[in-house]
């Protein structure tokens, strides 16, 4: 049981880190200073980063529910 609680806190820490990182990416993407200077490739790169974050959260949640996260 203690291991499951540890896994839950690791997952919460993972989510907090992802939220901070996503906040930085979104702030950079929508900043007034650089909003008009992004090219199509850079916008696609940011979309891929955000998609990777979503996949990381889903995989982490599935591992935690399955009991395999640490």
Local confidence pLDDT in tens for the 70 residues of the chain: 566 566 678 778 888 888 888 888 788 777 777 656 778 888 888 889 888 888 888 887 887 777 665 5
Q: What is the pLDDT of residue 5?
A: 63
Q: What is the pLDDT of residue 24?
A: 85
17/23 Cα distance (integer angstroms):
10
36/32 Cα distance (integer angstroms):
8
Q: What is the pLDDT of residue 39?
A: 82
| Report field, pTM of the whole predicted structure over 0.75 | no
Range of the domain at 56: 2-66
67/70 Cα distance (integer angstroms):
8
Domain count, the chain: 1
């Amino acid at each position: 049981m203690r291991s499951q609680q540890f896994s839950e806190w690791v997952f919460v820490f993972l989510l907090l880190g992802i939220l901070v990182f996503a906040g930085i990416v979104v702030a950079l993407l929508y900043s007034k200073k650089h909003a008009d200077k992004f090219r199509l490739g850079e916008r696609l790169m940011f979309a891929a980063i955000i998609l990777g974050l979503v996949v990381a959260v889903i995989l982490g949640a599935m591992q935690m529910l399955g009991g395999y996260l640490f």
